[in-house]
């Protein structure tokens, strides 16, 4: 069989090893990963100059916005930012305007996205109160559900344990995982109210309210609710070792749980508020140096399943307001995640294998993204080529994201994505998006658990 494209002169990450090999692609799929002599002839050859080809990254925590919040980000700019960052698939969060929470809101989002995306996109849905809507939105193509315990997103009452269990069990019957933003809103509100009456308006006051205890309490509550359920719970952006300990214990006693951390919680501390102010503000907030080190230890001990960006773009005006209580929390992360992680590989903090496991293999397994996450025959040709020796400087003013700021701005990195292939198509070359039309597809749920 003649291939469409052969990527040659490459180092290929496959089956846990780096091989001197090439990749043959046909109709958007990998048809062979082999030594060059064993590859089929192709219409087109692309020389990777000895660089490393990795499975395309899957970022499971992204806010693409669009629709009524297109001023913050839209499907085109968000997926362009993804491929520039070496990310070939993203999962879009449901806290949009309108909220993604039923089959009609999801359908509208899919219709818009499929006309413009450069990366593959899957969708989260918030929960409806109605079980038949939960079933319908899953049939419509939701990859996962999302519950925010900080504020009401969707119409499922987040203070009602029984209602939550009911929704989790419905998701479980459908074979769909449930992601949770775990922070106890009552703890946060009582401290925030107190801080506000004292007239405290800086990031310190915000951090005082968004405590590790608020996270731990919410994690404990969800684990208690799901103790005897087969629901698969995925904890988003975990930021404390106390919460991790609870998740570990639950996993050992048989609960189906997984968790993610973000690059900002692994690389930044609350010391940064002094220089960066509210630009650094995100929820949960970055914490102490001690916590940061504990999170790294958890990564190394394989207690963390996924690293995800929590790309949460806001307009600069929304970040630059005086009172911290009016700032929109969230920072863009699609264009910095991989260079930051590769820099840590070069510094010896962890290995390329760890990066691939945390950003491609586990995301594909946990969110049932079949034919993704691995460079293997018959898999979709989502491929990220990195130059491990290339040095660069992060420059937020050149982001493809509409959010042109970053707490990592001006950081030196070593190890950068140089080419991104989405479904066999070269969409990013040397930091530029070269795809003209649509290259990504809408990810649909696999019908297995």
If one asks whether residue 330 binds ligand NCD (CB under 6 A), the answer comes out as yes
d(CA 326, CA 372): 40
Q: Would you say how long the chain is, in residues?
A: 449
Catalytic residue among 310, 354, 380, 387: 310
Q: Binds 332, which of ligand NCD, Zn ion, none (CB < 5 to 8 A, cut-off by type)?
A: none
In a 3-state reduction of DSSP, which class is residue 237?
Answer: coil
β-bridge mates for residue 260, sequence order: 306
If one asks whether residue 181 binds ligand NCD (CB under 6 A), the answer comes out as yes
d(CA 106, CA 83): 23
Q: Binds 282, which of Zn ion, ligand NCD, none (CB < 5 to 8 A, cut-off by type)?
A: ligand NCD
Binding to ligand NCD, residues 350-379 (CB under 6 A): none
Catalytic (active site) residue 310: yes
* For ligand NCD, the closer CB: 55 or 330: 330
In a 3-state reduction of DSSP, which class is residue 67?
Answer: coil
By DSSP bridging, strand 178-181 and strand 412-422 are unpaired
* For ligand NCD, the closer CB: 62 or 352: 62
If one asks whether residue 95 binds ligand NCD (CB under 6 A), the answer comes out as yes
If one asks whether residue 63 binds ligand NCD (CB under 6 A), the answer comes out as yes
Task: Report, in Å, the least distance between residue 380 CB and ligand NCD.
Answer: 27
* For Zn ion, the closer CB: 284 or 445: 284
Task: Report, in Å, the least distance between residue 225 CB and ligand NCD.
Answer: 20
Q: Binds 9, which of Zn ion, ligand NCD, none (CB < 5 to 8 A, cut-off by type)?
A: Zn ion
d(CA 181, CA 130): 21
Q: Binds 402, which of ligand NCD, Zn ion, none (CB < 5 to 8 A, cut-off by type)?
A: none
Nearest-10 crossing angle of helices 241-252, 212-225: 20
d(CA 126, CA 145): 6
Q: Which of these ranges, 5-13, 23-31, 297-305, 396-404, lies near Zn ion under the rule CB under 5 A? A: 5-13
Note whether 41 and 73 are within 8 A (CB): no
By DSSP bridging, strand 178-181 and strand 232-235 are parallel
Among 73, 215, 310, 354, binds ligand NCD (CB under 6 A): 310
d(CA 24, CA 3): 6
d(CA 155, CA 204): 32
Q: With the C-alpha atoms ordered 267, 273, 275, 280, is the resulting torsion angle positive or negative?
A: positive
Task: Report, in Å, the least distance between residue 144 CB and ligand NCD.
Answer: 14
Note whether 120 and 91 are within 8 A (CB): no
Task: Report, in Å, the least distance between residue 44 CB and Zn ion.
Answer: 13
If one asks whether residue 404 binds Zn ion (CB under 5 A), the answer comes out as no
Among 72, 76, 109, 181, binds Zn ion (CB under 5 A): 181
Binding mask 277-306 for ligand NCD (x = CB under 6 A): -----xx-----------------------
Task: Report, in Å, the least distance between residue 222 CB and ligand NCD.
Answer: 15
What are the tokens at 120?
């593959």
Question: b/e map of 436-447 (b: 16 or more CB within 10 Å)?
Answer: eebbbbbbbbee
Task: Report, in Å, the least distance between residue 282 CB and ligand NCD.
Answer: 4
Q: Binds 8, which of ligand NCD, Zn ion, none (CB < 5 to 8 A, cut-off by type)?
A: Zn ion
If one asks whether residue 329 binds ligand NCD (CB under 6 A), the answer comes out as yes
Question: CB within 8 A of 18, min separation 6: which ones?
Answer: 11, 12, 52, 352
Bond before 133 cis per omega within 30 degrees: no
Catalytic residues: 310
- Which parts of this chain interact with Zn ion (CB under 5 A)? 8-9, 36, 181, 310
- Which parts of this chain interact with ligand NCD (CB under 6 A)? 63, 95, 181, 282-283, 310, 312, 329-330
């Amino acid at each position: 069989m003649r291939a469409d494209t052969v990527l040659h002169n490459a180092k290929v990450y496959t089956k846990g090893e780096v091989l001197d090999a090439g990749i043959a692609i046909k109709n958007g799929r990998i048809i062979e990963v082999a030594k060059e002599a064993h590859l089929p002839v192709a219409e087109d050859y692309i020389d990777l100059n000895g660089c490393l080809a990795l499975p395309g990254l899957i970022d499971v925590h992204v806010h693409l916005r669009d629709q009524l919040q297109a001023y913050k980000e839209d499907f085109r700019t968000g997926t362009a930012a993804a491929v520039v960052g070496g990310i070939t698939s993203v999962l879009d969060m449901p806290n949009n305007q309108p909220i993604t929470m039923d089959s009609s809101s999801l359908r509208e989002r899919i219709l818009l996205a499929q006309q413009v995306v450069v990366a593959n996109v899957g969708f989260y849905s918030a929960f409806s109160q109605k079980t038949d809507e939960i079933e319908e939105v899953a049939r419509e193509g939701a990859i996962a559900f999302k519950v925010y315990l900080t504020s009401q997103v969707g119409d499922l009452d987040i203070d009602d344990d029984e209602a939550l269990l009911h929704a989790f069990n419905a998701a479980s019957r459908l074979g769909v995982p449930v992601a949770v933003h775990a922070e106890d809103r009552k703890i946060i509100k009582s401290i925030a109210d107190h801080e506000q009456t004292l007239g405290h308006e800086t990031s310190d006051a915000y951090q005082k309210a968004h405590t590790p205890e608020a996270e731990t309490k919410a994690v404990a509550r969800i684990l208690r609710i799901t103790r005897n359920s087969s629901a698969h719970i995925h904890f988003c952006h975990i930021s404390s070792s106390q919460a991790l300990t609870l998740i570990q214990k639950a996993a050992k006693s048989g609960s189906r749980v997984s968790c993610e951390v973000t690059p900002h919680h692994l690389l930044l501390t609350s010391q940064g508020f002094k220089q960066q102010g509210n630009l650094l503000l995100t929820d949960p907030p970055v914490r102490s140096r001690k916590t940061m080190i504990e999170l790294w230890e958890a990564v190394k001990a394989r207690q963390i399943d996924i690293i995800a960006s929590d790309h949460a773009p806001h307009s600069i005006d929304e970040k630059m307001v005086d009172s911290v209580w009016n700032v929109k929390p969230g920072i863009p992360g699609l264009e910095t995640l991989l260079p930051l992680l590769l820099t840590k590989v070069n510094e010896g903090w962890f290995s390329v294998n760890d990066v691939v496991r945390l950003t491609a293999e586990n995301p594909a397994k946990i969110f049932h993204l079949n034919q993704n996450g691995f460079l293997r025959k018959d898999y979709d040709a989502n491929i990220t080529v990195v130059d491990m020796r290339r040095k660069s400087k992060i420059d937020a003013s050149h982001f493809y994201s509409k959010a042109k700021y970053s707490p990592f701005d001006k950081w030196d990195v070593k190890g950068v994505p140089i080419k991104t292939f989405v479904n066999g198509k070269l969409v990013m070359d040397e930091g530029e998006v070269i795809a003209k039309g649509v290259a990504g597809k809408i990810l649909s749920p696999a019908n297995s658990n």
